[in-house]
Amino acid sequence: MKKDNKIDRIFKALADPTRREILYLLVAAAAAMNINEVSDRFPATRQGVTKHLKVLEQAGLVDIQKRGRERYCVATPRPLKAVQEWVDFYKKFWDDKLDGLAGFLDKT
Amino acid sequence: MEDIIRKQKQFKHPIARVWEAISVADQISTWFIQADFKAEVGYHYTFTHQGTKITGEVLIASPVHELVYTWMVSGTETVTTVRWILAEYENGTILTLEHSGISGYPATMAVTMFENFNNGWHSCVENLEKHLAGMN
């Protein structure tokens, strides 16, 4: 996982429904799958699926490893958790603050 | 995934009252966060919470309906945007809050931020507990 992963890249990677499905497939598989196994499950061409996998890899969500002639993909969804935690934090932050505002308005 | 947090809340108070609460420094400091703030376009404000500084610039200040400012947490470089929208509703006010631009954060930074803030809130609750214990 690259250190400089921008959440921006994660959002962009997940903006495409096929990429979301590819990631879900790999997360559900919980094991490395080779690119043919992945592309067999999608109507897109092997090249198309490979392209999607590259985008996911750049976002740090998928790791692609070469073993012999084959390339294997494995889901690395940790950065996704970071985004979720950040969003969850601010959701709670604003909920608490707006409750505070309600209390403040009622008292003054 | 959406790059925006949106919250909506209804108040039974008039819109001018809610506007004051979100735009006047003294009032912001009471319910929200310690503030050096003016609702004037271009004003560079500073919010302080438990040693964490949040700075930004007022982008829109249009009483009593819209207040927009950038939101930058010290130690990070990513600028997010906070937008307050007020609308009159029956005898009260509907407030919509939008916080956007999260996607600019490096993922590792998001974790650090989260942890920093969590510690901040934790000590905040501890202080409150101490304060309440002292009152008994």
The CA distance from A55 to the nearest CA of chain B, in Å, is: 16
Sequence ranges of the domains in chain B:
4-135
Contact A98 B113 (CB under 8 A): no
CA dist A98 and A95 (Å) reads: 5
CA dist B65 and B19 (Å) reads: 7
Q: Which residues contact B31 (CB under 8 A, 6 or more apart)?
A: A97, A100, A101, A103, A104, B21
**Structure confidence by residue, pLDDT tens digits, B97-106:** 998 877 666 6
Mutate to test the interface with B, among A101, A106, A108 (most CBs of B within 10 A): A101
Q: Which of B3, B97, B105 sits opposite A94 (nearest CB)?
A: B97
**Structure confidence by residue, pLDDT tens digits, A13-66:** 888 888 988 988 898 888 899 999 999 999 989 999 999 999 999 988 999 999
CA dist B27 and A97 (Å) reads: 13
Asked if this assembly's ipTM is beyond 0.90, the reply is no
Look up residue B24 and give its two tokens: 């006047």
- pLDDT surpasses 70 at A5: no
Beta strands across the sheet bearing A62-67: A33-34, A70-75, A62-67
pLDDT band per the 50, 70, 90 thresholds, residue B132: very low
Contact A91 B7 (CB under 8 A): yes
Look up residue A2 and give its two tokens: 């690259």
Looking at residue B71, what is its pLDDT? 93
Contact A98 B97 (CB under 8 A): yes
CA B58-B63-B64 angle, 5° bins: 125
Q: Go through the domains of chain A in sequence order and give each one's CATH number.
A: 7-77 (1.10.10.10)
Residues of B whose CB is below 8 A from A97: 31-33
Residues of A whose CB is below 8 A from B21: 101, 104-105
Looking at residue B2, what is its pLDDT? 61
CATH 3.30.530.20 fits B4-135, yes or no: yes
